[in-house]
A and B are shown apart, each in its own frame.
Chain A
Amino acid sequence: MAGSPVVERLDEDTFPKILLRNAVVFKDRPAVREKDLGIWQAWTWAEVLDEIRAFAVGLKGLGFKKGDRIAIIGANRPRLYWTMVAAQSLGGVPVPIYSDSVAEEMVFVLQHAEVKFACVEDQEQVDKLLSISDRLPMLEEVIYDEERGLLDYDHTKLHSFEAVQEAGRKTMAGDANAVKAWEADIAASKGDDIAVMLYTSGTTGQPKGVMLSFDNLVISARNGNRFDKLDEHEEIVAYLPMAWIGDHVFSLAQAYTAGYCVNCPESAETVESDRREIAPTYFFAPPRVFENMLTHIMVRMEDASKLKKRMFDHFMEVARRVGEPILNGEDVSFKDRLMYRLGELLVYGPLKNQMGFTRLKVGYTAGEAIGPEIFRFYRALGLNLKQLYGQTEASVYITMQPDGQIYGDTVGTPAPQVEIRIADNGEVLYRSPGVFVGYYKNDEATKNTKTEDGWVLTGDAGIITDEGHLKIIDRAKDVGKLKSGDLFAPKYIENKLKFFPNVKEVVAFGDGRDFASVFVNIDLTAVGSWAERNNVNYASYQELAANPQVYRMIEEHVDQVNRDLSREPMMAGAQIRRFLILHKELDADDGELTRTQKVRRSFIAERYAPLIEALYDGSTEKHVRTEVTYEDGRKGAIEATVQIRDMKIYEPEGGVTREAAE
C-alpha cells in the first residue's frame, strides 16, 4: 500500500534517489514493459537501475555536466524515460519536446532552453535536428534509440543509445570508482533542484518553459498516489506525449514514487490493442478518447445481431439506472443489484474487456469538459472514471473528484495540500507544493502568473459549489458583468445550451448590458431528422430556422437552461432574457468561426450589430441582409426577417450565498 514507511522517506526527494530505493525495495517487480516483436519485454526495477546507470556514466563520458540540458524527442519509449532520470542523476535537466512538431517549431524551444544534448527516438527526429543544426550552435551531441536507417550517417556527433551505454559499462569495468562517483552525484542532488522543463504549447505567443523542481513533482505525485491509493501493483499504459505534464507525472513521477509498472505500446497505431492486453489499473485520457471509444462501441452494436442488441439495450438501461448509485455505495434494491450482477456477466464485463478496462481501479479525464452523457456511460458500467483539473504550472493536480463525490459538472475538491481561492473577477487561484519554480528566462511572465506569496493565476474563471467542489465556467478574460453587477460567463451559458443535440452553436451577449441574450444556430442534422419524422417541410436552413415549431422547441431548451441557471446563485442573474435563431449557419468561410470551429465573438458582434441592437431595443422581429461567401469564393446575400422571443426569468433559488466562493 502507498503510505507505507518505505515510500515516504523524506530524504528520497529526487527521482534518481527514488530509483536507488526502488531497485532494492521492488527489486524483482516489473518497472517498465515495452511491446517489441509482438512480445511484452519487461525490465525489473533492478534492471532499470542497471540500464540507467550505464547510460548515465556513458553520458558523463560524452561531456554531460551538472546544469546541462538534454532534449528528449520521441514517442513513449523506455529508453527516453531512462534518459530523463539519467540526466537528472548527473544534475542535468531533461527538456521533453513534442515529437510531432516540425523542425521549425522545435528551433525556438531548443534555442531558448540552450539544449546541449538531445536524445531522440529515430531517424525521423535525427533528420529534423540535422536540418536545423546550423541554428543550434549549442547542440553538441545527439543520441538515438532506433538505429534503423542511420547506419551511414556521420557519427562524429551522433551516438546510438547502446553505444553510450556500452561506453558507460566499459568505464565502470575499468574504474571501480565510477559507480561511487555516480552515486555521490545522486546524493548531492536536492529536492529544490530543477527536475524538468516542460514547454507549454502556448496558444498565444511563444511557448514558455515551465521549470518544475523535484519537490514539486515528488510531493504532488505522492499526494496523488495517496489520494487514489495507488501502489506498486498498478499498471499503466504510457501513450500520451512525453512533453505533456500529464504523462510526465503519471508515467514518471507517480510511477517512481509508487513503484508501479509503466507499459509502452508497440506503436502509436497499436495503443488500443496494447491497452486491451495490459488492462491498466490506472488510466488517464482526454475526453475525446472516451468519446471515440463510446462511438466505436455504438457503431459496432448497430451491426450486432438482434438478440445481442436487445440484451445490450436492456442491461445498459439497468446500468444507467443503478450503476452509478452502486458505484457510489448508495442503497440499491436487491433485485436491481441482482440484475446489475447479471448485466456485468453478460454485457458490462465483456464490454470492459474490449476497452481494456477490466482491472481499472481509477480513471481520469481532464483538459476540457466531458459530455455528461459520455461520463455517465462509463460510470454506469462500474468504471471509476473521475474528472480532475490541473495545469503544467501546478504539477498537474489542482482539484480532483474524491471517490463517491462525483458530479458531472464540477472538477472536484482541492487536491491534497492545495489551497484554492476565487479572485474578485472570478478567476481561480491556487497555491500548493506543486507550484512551479518559474518560467525559464521569462521573469515577466512568471510575475504575471505567480504572486509574491505563491498564488498562481489559472486564467480560468470558476465558482465553488455548495458541496465545496470547483466548477470551471469560462476563460477568465471572457467573463464579464451585467449592468446589474451580476456575473456573466458567456461560454458557461453557451455550453449549457449546446448540450442539447438540436443546438449546434450559441453566441451569448451581455457584458455591460442590462441582461443576457443569445443567438442560436440549430443543428441541421438533428432538427432535420426531427422535421422528417414530423412531416415538417423545409427547403433550406433559413426556412427551418424560422419555423414556429422549431422556435417552440428551442424556447423549451432555453427555458430549461434558465431553470438550471436560477438554481446557481452565482449565475442566476445571467438568465437568458431574449433569444433569436440566426437565419444562417455560422461558418468559418465567412470568418464567423475559427478553422477549429470556435466562435469569433467580437467579429460576430460587429457583423450582426443590427440584430444585437434588436435584442436590446425590445422589438419582436428584425429584417436583416447578410453577405455570405460561398465555398468557391463567390459572394451572395441572405435576407431574412428574424424573430426574437422573450423568455421567462426564474427567481434565484437557495438565497444569496456568494461568499460560498471562499
Chain B
Amino acid sequence: MNAFVEPATMPGSGVTKGEVLLSVANVSLAFGGVKAITDISFDIRKGEIRAIIGPNGAGKTSMLNVINGFYHPQEGTITWRGKARRKMKPYEAASQGIARTFQNVALFKGMTTLDNIMTGRGLAMKKNFLWQCLHWGPALKEEIVHRHRVEEIIDFLEIQAIRKTPVGRLPYGLQKRVELARALAMEPELLLLDEPMAGMNLEEKEDMSRFILDVNQQFGTTIALIEHDMGVVMDLSDRVVVLDYGRKIADGIPEEVQKNQDVIDAYLGVPHEE
C-alpha cells in the first residue's frame, strides 16, 4: 500500500551520495551593463539540501536560471554530473534530471491538479502524438504507468482531496504544493525551489518544510532552494551559500554562516537567535 518512487528508479547518474553533483565555477552573468552575477563558485553535493540566500536583487534567481540552463553565463563553467557545460537549453536540463518551481506560481490555472502534475511526466512519455490521440493500446498502457507515478506523488504530498479541482480555484499554499508535485513528477535528481514558502502562513510553512525534508529523505532528491525565511533556511539546509550584489560573501553550514560578520552586515542584521 505504501509504494513510493524508489530512489533506484531515478535517472541514473552514477553520482553517489555526498559527491559533488553540480558545481559552478567562476560564473559571471551580465545583462548589458548590469552585472547580475560576478565570479561565483560553489557546489551542490548529491543528497543535500543547499540553500541560496541573500537580500533582494542579490542574484539568487539568476543563479537558479543559470543552473537550469535558462540563462547562459558569459564566463565560467557549470559541471553537471562530472561533465562541464556552459550552454544548455532548459528542456535539456529537464531531461537531464533538473526540475524547478517558480517564485510566482506557474501552473496551468484552468487544468486540474491531476492534469498539471501529469504534464510533469511529459518528458517521460515516449509514444508519439498519433498514439496519444488514439489513447488506446500502448499509449493507454503508458499513461497508466505514468498515472500510477503521479498518484504516488499525490499521496505523498497529501493532495488527494484536490485531485480533480482546477488549480485556479485553490488557495495559494496548495498551488505551491501542486507546483512541487509537478516538479517531483519529473523524478529529478536535482530539484530547484525558488522561494517555496513565500506568502505562506506559519502552518503552510511547516507543512511545506516537512514535505521538503520528506522528499529529500524518501526520494533521495538533491535540493537547492532560495528562501527568505531564515528560520526555515537554518532548520532545513545542510549548507548555505550567501550572495550579495551578485557576489558570494559566505558559504558553509548554517551555524557558520549565521556568525559570519559580512553576512550579518549585508543581510541578517542581528545574529540569528538560538
Contact = CB atoms under 8 A, between A and B. Distances in A.
Main SS class of interface, B: helix
Contacts of B214: 148-149
A151 B148 contact: no
Interface in A243-284: 266-267, 269-270, 273
A37 B161 contact: no
Given A149-B214, A152-B217, A38 B163 contact: yes
A38 B151 contact: yes
Contacts of A587: none
Contacts of B158: 267
Contacts of A38: 147, 151, 154, 160, 163
A104 interface: no
B156 interface: yes
B155 interface: yes
B4 A148 contact: yes
Nearest to A162: B2
Contact of B161 (A41, A145, A269): A269
B2 A269 contact: no
A147 interface: yes
A34 B218 CA distance: 23
B8 interface: no
A37 B2 CA distance: 9
A146 interface: yes
B152 interface: yes
B112 to A, nearest CB: 12
Interface in A131-153: 145-149, 151-152
Nearest to A149: B214
Contacts of B147: 38
B121 to A, nearest CB: 15
A36 interface: yes
A36 B1 contact: yes
Contacts of A41: 1
A652 B128 CA distance: 84
A38 B214 CA distance: 21
Contacts, number: 40
Interface in A611-631: none
Interface string B126-160: 00000000000000000000011001101110101
Given A36-B155, A38-B151, A151 B160 contact: no
Contact of B151 (A37, A145, A147, A152): A37
A37 B163 CA distance: 11
A92 B239 CA distance: 50
A158 B4 CA distance: 20
Nearest to B155: A37
Task: Say which size band chain A's interface belongs to.
Answer: 10 to 19
Contact of A147 (B2, B154, B155, B161): B2
Given A37-B155, A38-B154, A267 B161 contact: yes
Interface in B155-200: 155-156, 158, 160-161, 163
Contacts of A267: 158, 160-161
Contacts of A269: 160-161
A509 to B, nearest CB: 45
B2 A270 contact: no
Interface in B189-216: 214
A148 B151 contact: no
B233 to A, nearest CB: 21
Nearest to A77: B1
A629 B148 CA distance: 58
A38 B163 CA distance: 9
Given A37-B148, A147-B2, A270 B160 contact: yes
B120 to A, nearest CB: 16
B160 A148 contact: no
A266 B151 CA distance: 12
Given A38-B163, A267-B160, A148 B2 contact: yes
A264 to B, nearest CB: 11
Interface of B: 1-4, 147-148, 151-152, 154-156, 158, 160-161, 163, 214, 217-218
The 9 closest A-B pairs by CB, nearest first: A269-B161, A37-B151, A38-B151, A270-B161, A266-B160, A267-B160, A270-B160, A147-B2, A36-B1
Given A38-B163, A148-B4, 10 more contacts: A36-B155, A37-B154, A148-B214, A149-B218, A267-B160, A269-B160, A269-B161, A270-B160, A270-B161, A273-B161
